[in-house]
């Protein structure tokens, strides 16, 4: 009888261990790494600039700190599609140190928002990128990843959550209307996301990004080349063809490189809009 009771207790104990092991939060370890990294950054922020070593430069004997400062604020929002097969796969990718990629937000197909990184921290989402004269997009932007393989329509619930998030970010950080852009805009030739199916026009109607329809009264000024016009919008024209493709994917929902009069009309309006801001 006693032996049977011991066996029963042992089985219950093993079952409890198995239950808790199977139900352990899968990102507990990566969350711990997050807090460790956060602590290191906070430690750096607490250091007085005056204790930094400046070699071969005249340095004041005593440090005098200014009283007028606050945190740097993001000025761009860059939208991506994950190019993966599930939200869970993306979360896993962003919690493995070896991948060296991350984003501030991940939005699943059902509209669930994962806020993975404090907005004031620098995420690794843009890679080698350029927009206008800005060559370090990661340092001035918030990265948002949408669970989408790049070839499918975006879910309504997902876009609704995105719009709510963008409204909050725009208000909190006073992000200019024109500074809501895509990964393909800042890295033409290397990236295409969020691709031609992304509803840029819907975002623009809600105040996030520019959008213009072709107009018979708008055309490029005589003598202004298409590459130069594209660069005036913000695109890197190191490779003209990929820059044109990036422009057309975003502002014309088209994946062909040929520029027609309608495309030039939209390009002209974008330039006027950019110059007016």
Q: How far apart are the first and last CA of the chain?
A: 85
**Cβ pair 117, 78 in contact under 8 A:** no
The C-alpha atoms of residue 260 and residue 257 are separated, in whole angstroms, by 10
User: From the CB of residue 69, how many other CB atoms can be counted at a distance below 10 Å?
Assistant: 7
The question of whether 145 is a catalytic residue gets the answer: yes
Sign of CA dihedral 261, 197, 201, 81: negative
Q: Choosing from 145, 152, 171, 213, which is the catalytic residue?
A: 145
Distance of CA 223 to the CA centre of its chain: 36
* Residues labelled as active-site residues: 145
């Amino acid at each position: 009888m006693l032996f049977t009771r011991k066996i029963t207790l042992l089985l219950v104990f093993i079952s409890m261990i198995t239950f808790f092991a199977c139900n352990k939060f899968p990102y507990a370890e990566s969350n711990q790494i997050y807090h460790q990294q956060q602590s290191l950054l906070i430690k750096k922020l607490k250091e007085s600039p005056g204790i930094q070593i400046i070699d071969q430069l005249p340095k004041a004997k005593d440090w005098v700190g200014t009283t007028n400062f606050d945190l740097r604020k993001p000025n761009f929002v860059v939208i991506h599609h994950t190019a993966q097969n599930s939200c869970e796969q993306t979360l896993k990718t962003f919690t493995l140190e070896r991948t060296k990629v991350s984003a501030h937000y991940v939005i699943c197909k059902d509209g669930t928002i994962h806020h993975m990184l404090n907005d004031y921290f620098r995420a690794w989402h843009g890679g080698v990128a350029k927009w206008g004269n800005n060559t370090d997009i990661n340092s001035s932007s918030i990265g948002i990843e949408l669970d989408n393989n790049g070839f499918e329509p975006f879910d309504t619930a997902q876009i609704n959550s995105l719009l709510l998030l963008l409204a909050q970010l725009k208000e909190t950080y006073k992000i200019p209307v024109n500074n809501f852009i895509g990964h393909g805009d800042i890295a033409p030739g290397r990236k295409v996301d969020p691709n031609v199916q992304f509803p840029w026009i819907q975002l623009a109607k809600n105040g996030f990004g520019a959008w213009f329809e072709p107009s018979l009264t708008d055309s490029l000024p005589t003598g202004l080349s298409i590459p130069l016009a594209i660069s005036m919008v913000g695109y890197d024209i190191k490779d003209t063809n990929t820059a044109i493709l990036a422009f057309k994917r975003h502002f014309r929902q088209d994946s062909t490189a040929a520029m027609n009069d309608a495309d030039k009309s939209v390009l002209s309006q974008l330039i006027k809009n950019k110059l007016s801001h």
